[in-house]
Structure 1
Amino acid sequence: MDVLTAAWIRCPQCSDLTYGGRYERNLRTCPGCGAHGRLDAEQRIGQLLDPGSVERLASPAVVADPLGFADTRSYAERLTEARERTGMDDAVACVTGEVMGRPLVAAVMDFRFMGGSLGVAVGEAITAAAETALRLRRPFLIVTASGGARMQEGAFALMQMAKTAQALAELDEAGILTVTLVTDPTYGGVAASYATLGDVVLAEPGARVGFAGPRVIKQTIQTELPDGFQTAEFLLARGLVDAVVPRPALRPTLADLLEAQVPVRAARRNAPHAEPDTGPDAAAGRATLVRDPGALPERDPAEIIRAARHEERPNTLEYANQLLDGFQELRGDRLTGDCPAVVGGIGRLDGRQVVLIGHQKGRDTAERVRRNFGMALPEGYRKAARLMRLAVKLDLPVVTLVDTPGAHPGIGAEERGQAWAIAESIRLMSGLPVPVVTAITGEGGSGGALALAVADRVLACAGAMYSVISPEGCAAILWQDQAAAPHAAAALRIGARDLLRHGIVDAVVPEPDGGAHEDPSAAAELLRAALTRALAEVCGLAPAERVARRRRRFRRFGLA
């Protein structure tokens, strides 16, 4: 931002004039276009962390100038000048503190100090902060702003990429949540190490992130770059960041994410495993799960199909927003893209932190088209797998909601390994050590559904259907007539009553009169009670026993 007077500031993006006081109250974002101005480390700490909670971590002792480097000036002189100008020891400030009462360790970079470059002092400080997070068993937040590794330190700077990546690997092994907040700019060796290794990667709007800078890329390949290239929004669409979060929303977003960290995880793992609750509340919960097929009415096959596909049935995001407190959607497979037909994130189900994943068909026609009518691409299953692995790291149960005609049958999906992605998801779910509960909430179509349904408890909503193929597909192949779909549906036994009778599902979740679409709020409450009860039944088991029982569940199908 250009400071014109003590009172007025001009935005470099939209050229609007903004009163300085308003600009500060707006957390240094332009009220006209939303452009986010750069913050130094002290400003960032002051904005994110609770007042009075911050304690500084000492700067580790390092070799200040390992190469005795000099260009037109000595590196030692440049370091002295940067320290005097910024008041910092180097380009990162490391602290402990709290965000809305949630404790954490934070490493906050400052671009003013030699472009936020990564040298031995920065690498050692971030590594030491990670070790503090490990010792305290607190989540670790890294706020990045950097041009890359520090040239004046040569290969010593390069080694800091390995050092910091190794430190985050140790936090992974210990089950400590890591969150990165990428700010403008984040390039080079920082982007290619700790900036992109967090369990959750957030970015500020417009933040530029990449390995090589756009000028270098353009000069090297001699071509024009796409609009918005390397911006946070560009990377979000390509599955490389979880969310682009405006500065005013950062504190509550971080607070909800930090709740996923359970401080007593190690104690819980070593404690004797409790049996499922059998008190009065548990008895009430059992009433929400129908386990007797005879208690369910026989339904016309055509009506089963209509109910399961009804456009007004609640979808996964609607369920998530009603069932979960503090739900934070996480996006992207960190490889090739973000499939909008699969959604997932972290939230609290009746006080219990869970990872929720599900198919998302959308509500209106435009959204349904954008989400491929709930038919997932390989990126969707790989995103789901990434979130399941995060659940294992944080020791959180997994809840999946299935509602899909099947996996997306397109050329691009096949080119990117649709069958491989589905198979990997099925294998991964079969061995997850954490509790897994699935609910078929609408359509359960083929392997595209099963890829999210290898669970300890598989529930079906009363209006759902589940089958190896769609009734129309079966009718077209075996009857040579799609109009025979109701006959195919009857033969395939796709309804909840038959699924329960054959043991394909463990229980059926009742729906309001007329179906879930008639009263979505009531349907969500019935699903909440059912999921809570199902989780209570499996959460008390030891991980090895849980996996063994899950595998026995699927092993028995088809045995005489």
Structure 2
Amino acid sequence: MSGNRSAGGVPWTLCPGCRTVQLGTRLRRGLWVCPDCGRHLQITAAQRLDALLDPDSVELVDSPLTDTDPLGFSDTEPYPRRRERARHSTGICEAMVLATGTIRGRPLVAAVADFRFLGGSMGVAVGDLLVRAAEIALTRRVPLLMVTASGGARMQEGALSLMQMARTAQALTRLDAAGILTVSLVTDPTFGGVAASYATLADVILAEPGARLGFAGPRVIEQVLGQPLPAGFQTAEALHTQGHLDLVCPRGEQRAILARLLALTAPETPAERTGPNDAGIVTDPDALHPEDPWRSVRRARDIMRPTTADYAARVFTDFLELHGDRLAKDCPAIIGGPARLAGRTVMLIGTQKGHTAAELSSRQFGMASPAGYRKAARLMRLAAKLGVPVVTLVDTPGAHAGIEAEAHGQALAIADNLRVLAELPVPVVAVITGEGGSGGALALAVADRVLMLAHAVYSVISPEGCAAILWNNAAEAPRAAAALRAGARDLLRLGVVDGVIPEPGEGVQTDHGAAAELVRTALIATLAELDDLSPGQRRRHRFRRFETFGGSSPPGPDNTGMEWGQ
């Protein structure tokens, strides 16, 4: 905090953002967020623990520290003396504090940086503390929360401080292998070796408004470029747009968001099981009425058909949308995150269109960019780590086509999704809810079970595209629709889909509530069918499912040429 003083015994603080004077008691009630400009002031590790963890649940972890001075470093004063001054002024032993506790009753381990201690810099002792926190999380099998605030590696410890980047990365790798959730809460500032190691390796990355995050600090970049940086550079808001963060989370909302994350990854309540006979899924093509192919296409495109967001609100509970591909952007045409389905956690991922012209435009008409497919792949891998099923909802004309998409590797992003889905050890269920267009749809539909709604379509190309190419006339789209056999009845007969979910009335667009109940029942039943398979069996069955679309008989159990883990 900046400018702490007192007048007449009442402490007050000068906000570094708007330069207004704020009463300390008022700031404390608002979790040290300026009520005038919203600036999130720096707070201590102890204040952070009080703000996030349940009262009376915090237990500090007393880890022995080994003081090092490998270089005999001295600038204006010897390093050991500088470190002792930091201890005296802050009342803590190092730039990180470890604690165990709960958030709304859910246990976790917290590793909280304190910027007051030598700028939160990471030396050997901080590396030891982060590794120790990971070890406790692994032993207790509880999530690890890392709150960052650092200028980077501790220069006074030379190359040994650099090695802490690798040590902390390895510690998180062990948690990945064990399926332990890791969460990073980025606060201002987080730079250098901390930003390039554990801060950005977490499963979920949250950041406070205005928090700066980057490898090179702004002063260094300005010196290299010889010019000022743009406004908002390296801030949480900019990084969220660029796909590097899941959420920008104000301090007053952090406990609630963390509680939801912990609840979604905690041991589950028994899932509601609906037997296959109650699923309402049609598996016999002859039980479906023949439909005019072009009419099916037009129904599938109806602007009022439920979107993934609609199903997320009606079929699932507590959907927590996560953002970003961790590389370039957050594609709005694909949404995803953990949710509850009848008492069990699933990873919901789906293409998102909209019901208005403005939303359709902002969502790119459900046509995902490479960033969207990379975001989906990231969430699929997180589902595999946590051992939760993946549910995908597909309604897209196809992948986004354009100069930017091609420049950023659209083909590679789709191909990578196909490979990720083929290898996932958890159950995967895909539902074609509207249009299933080409590889852009298949990138979310390599699944153990592929279902489709009765008036949905699924094809290698749009009827208009097919007509333009083969008949040189887009007006021949109805003729192309009939030739492509993209409707539910034909696709079920071909084995491309495993079952068809009936639609209410004239279609799901007429009754979102009834549509949601039909989809919900089908998903519960289908996931129940897949529960008894081991990861190896799931992958083996998935492989054989798609092998049936080859020109010869699918390989038998002993001649696939592939080895699958159990």
TM over 0.5: yes
Give me the whole-angstrom Cα distance separating, in 1, the residues matched to 2:540 and 2:36.
Answer: 58
Query: Does 2:14 align with 1:13?
Result: no
Equivalent in the alignment of 1:219? 223
Shift of 1:257: 1.4
Query: Does 2:341 align with 1:337?
Result: no
* C-alpha spacing 1:40/1:318, structure 2 compared with 1 (3 Å): same
* C-alpha spacing 1:510/1:20, structure 2 compared with 1 (3 Å): farther
Shift of 1:2: 4.5
Q: What letter is aligned with 1:78?
A: R
User: TM-score scaled by structure 2?
Assistant: 0.93
Paired residue for 2:319, among 323, 327, 330? Answer: 327
Shift of 1:29: 1.4
Give me the whole-angstrom Cα distance separating, in 2, the residues matched to 1:507 and 1:327.
Answer: 26
Q: Contact conserved, 1:59 with 1:89, CA < 8 A, in 2? A: no
Equivalent in the alignment of 2:548? 556
Equivalent in the alignment of 1:518? 510
* C-alpha spacing 1:184/1:285, structure 2 compared with 1 (3 Å): farther
Cα shift readout 1:328-374 (whole Å, capped 9, x = no counterpart): 11111112222111111111111111111111113322222222111
Paired residue for 2:260, among 231, 256, 260? Answer: 256
Q: Contact conserved, 2:459 with 2:486, CA < 8 A, in 1? A: yes
Equivalent in the alignment of 1:271? none
Query: Does 2:272 align with 1:298?
Result: no
Equivalent in the alignment of 2:432? 440
Unaligned runs of 5+ in 2: 553-566
RMSD: 2.0
| SS of equivalent residue, structure 1 residue 441 | strand
Q: Contact conserved, 2:186 with 2:207, CA < 8 A, in 1? A: yes
Equivalent in the alignment of 2:467? 475
Cα shift readout 1:376-404 (whole Å, capped 9, x = no counterpart): 11111111111111111111111111111
Q: Contact conserved, 2:111 with 2:130, CA < 8 A, in 1? A: yes
Give me the whole-angstrom Cα distance separating, in 2, the residues matched to 1:522 and 1:16.
Answer: 54
Shift of 1:285: 3.2
Q: What letter is aligned with 1:469?
A: I
| SS of equivalent residue, structure 2 residue 110 | strand
Give me the whole-angstrom Cα distance separating, in 2, the residues matched to 1:21 and 1:514.
Answer: 60
Alignment of 1:28-427 (within 5 A): 28-262=32-266, 281-282=274-275, 285-286=278-279, 288-427=280-419
* C-alpha spacing 1:10/1:526, structure 2 compared with 1 (3 Å): farther
Worse-matched range after superposition: 301-310 or 5-14: 5-14
Give me the whole-angstrom Cα distance separating, in 2, the residues matched to 1:156 and 1:526.
Answer: 59
Paired residue for 2:487, among 477, 484, 495? Answer: 495
Q: Contact conserved, 1:445 with 1:467, CA < 8 A, in 2? A: yes
Give me the whole-angstrom Cα distance separating, in 2, the residues matched to 1:39 and 1:326.
Answer: 30
* C-alpha spacing 1:62/1:363, structure 2 compared with 1 (3 Å): farther
Q: Contact conserved, 1:333 with 1:382, CA < 8 A, in 2? A: yes
Cα shift readout 1:214-243 (whole Å, capped 9, x = no counterpart): 111011112332221000111111111111
Shift of 1:18: 4.5
Unaligned runs of 5+ in 1: 269-275
Shift of 1:187: 0.5
Q: What letter is aligned with 2:516?
A: A
Worse-matched range after superposition: 546-555 or 6-15: 6-15
Equivalent in the alignment of 1:535? 527
Give me the whole-angstrom Cα distance separating, in 2, the residues matched to 1:193 and 1:528.
Answer: 40
Give me the whole-angstrom Cα distance separating, in 2, the residues matched to 1:385 and 1:549.
Answer: 21
Shift of 1:559: 4.4
Cα shift readout 1:17-76 (whole Å, capped 9, x = no counterpart): 555433322221123332211111000001111112111111233134333322221212
Equivalent in the alignment of 1:452? 444
Give me the whole-angstrom Cα distance separating, in 1, the residues matched to 2:33 and 2:22.
Answer: 10
Cα shift readout 1:97-125 (whole Å, capped 9, x = no counterpart): 11111111110000111111111111101
| SS of equivalent residue, structure 1 residue 329 | coil
* C-alpha spacing 1:61/1:224, structure 2 compared with 1 (3 Å): closer
Shift of 1:254: 0.9
Cα shift readout 1:295-324 (whole Å, capped 9, x = no counterpart): 322222232112111111111122123222
Give me the whole-angstrom Cα distance separating, in 1, the residues matched to 2:317 and 2:61.
Answer: 33
User: TM-score scaled by structure 1?
Assistant: 0.94
| SS of equivalent residue, structure 1 residue 403 | strand
Shift of 1:248: 1.4
Q: What letter is aligned with 2:275?
A: A
Give me the whole-angstrom Cα distance separating, in 2, the residues matched to 1:363 and 1:227.
Answer: 34
Give me the whole-angstrom Cα distance separating, in 1, the residues matched to 2:450 and 2:400.
Answer: 23
Q: Contact conserved, 1:137 with 1:263, CA < 8 A, in 2? A: no
Give me the whole-angstrom Cα distance separating, in 2, the residues matched to 1:247 and 1:289.
Answer: 45
Q: Contact conserved, 2:432 with 2:457, CA < 8 A, in 1? A: yes
Give me the whole-angstrom Cα distance separating, in 2, the residues matched to 1:36 and 1:352.
Answer: 36
Give me the whole-angstrom Cα distance separating, in 2, the residues matched to 1:545 and 1:515.
Answer: 36
Q: What letter is aligned with 1:331?
A: H
Q: Contact conserved, 1:256 with 1:327, CA < 8 A, in 2? A: no
Q: Contact conserved, 1:338 with 1:383, CA < 8 A, in 2? A: yes
* C-alpha spacing 1:51/1:546, structure 2 compared with 1 (3 Å): same
* C-alpha spacing 1:18/1:321, structure 2 compared with 1 (3 Å): farther
Give me the whole-angstrom Cα distance separating, in 2, the residues matched to 1:165 and 1:224.
Answer: 33
